[in-house]
């Protein structure tokens, strides 16, 4: 298992408490309607959904040919479920049903940073003060991942499209499918696998 310092029984019990029924998520997304499609990530489409309690969610539906296998899926669930920081997108749960693999996240309303950086109209909303605050939030999130969380995590795919902006334009780092864990006493590692895009 990739996660060091976590007992197997801890991971299975916490994973079970995060599991959603496929029927619940299918209903929340109106059967994964194109009207609810927020975008297309590297591993599959992302949909907006509304749970029966009224909570809005973002659902990452992993494509069968996405390249994110069971190990990466399990890695993302176990990693993100343990992370709590205002500059990280919060994982609410997951669904693993036959060939369906879904990750259910908090819904972040302002889309990703790249929509603002590369759109001439939206770019006007990013004055230097706001950009500075976004950079500061990203730095706090990365510091938490690298130094302050229970696990040391290297994201390995940080880019503008993996930074979501909430209603107040605060940044939230997303998409931990390529993340790598380090032991608490490890400060460096070598990998031969190319990650990200």
The tens-digit pLDDT sequence of the chain (197 residues) is: 233 333 444 445 455 678 899 999 999 999 999 999 998 877 789 999 999 999 999 999 987 765 566 676 776 687 778 889 999 999 899 998 888 889 999 999 998 999 999 999 999 999 999 999 999 999 999 999 988 887 778 888 899 999 999 999 999 998 876 666 655 555 555 444 444 45
The tokens describing 176, both together, are: 């931990």
In DSSP notation, 5-20 reads T--HHHHHHHHHHTB-
Catalytic residue among 157, 166, 175, 185: 157
Active site (annotated) includes residue 157: yes
**In what side-by-side order are the strands of the sheet with 44-50?**
37-41, 44-50, 56-61, 100-106, 91-97
pTM score: 0.78
Per the document, the length of the chain is 197
Q: 83 near 175, Cβ under 8 Å? A: no
For the chain, domains (ranges, CATH) are 8-182 (1.10.510.10)
113 φ, ψ to 5°? -60, -35
């Amino acid at each position: 298992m990739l996660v060091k310092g976590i007992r197997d029984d801890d991971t299975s019990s916490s994973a079970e408490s995060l599991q959603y029924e496929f029927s619940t998520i299918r209903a929340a997304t109106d059967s994964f309607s194109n009207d609810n499609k927020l975008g297309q990530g590297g591993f599959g489409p992302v949909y907006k959904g509304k749970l029966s309690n009224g909570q809005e969610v973002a659902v990452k539906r992993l494509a069968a040919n996405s390249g994110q296998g069971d190990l990466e899926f399990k890695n993302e669930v176990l990693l993100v479920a343990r992370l709590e920081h205002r500059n990280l997108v919060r994982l609410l749960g997951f669904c693993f049903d036959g060939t369906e693999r879904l990750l259910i996240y908090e819904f972040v309303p302002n889309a990703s940073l790249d929509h603002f950086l590369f759109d001439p109209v939206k770019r006007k909303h990013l004055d230097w003060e706001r950009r500075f605050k976004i950079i500061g939030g990203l730095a706090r999130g990365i510091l938490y991942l690298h130094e302050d969380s229970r696990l040391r995590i290297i994201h390995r795919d940080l880019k503008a499209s993996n930074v979501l902006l909430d209603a107040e334009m605060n940044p939230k780092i997303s998409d931990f499918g390529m993340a790598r864990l380090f032991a608490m006493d490890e400060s460096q590692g070598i990998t031969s696998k190319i990650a990200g895009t």
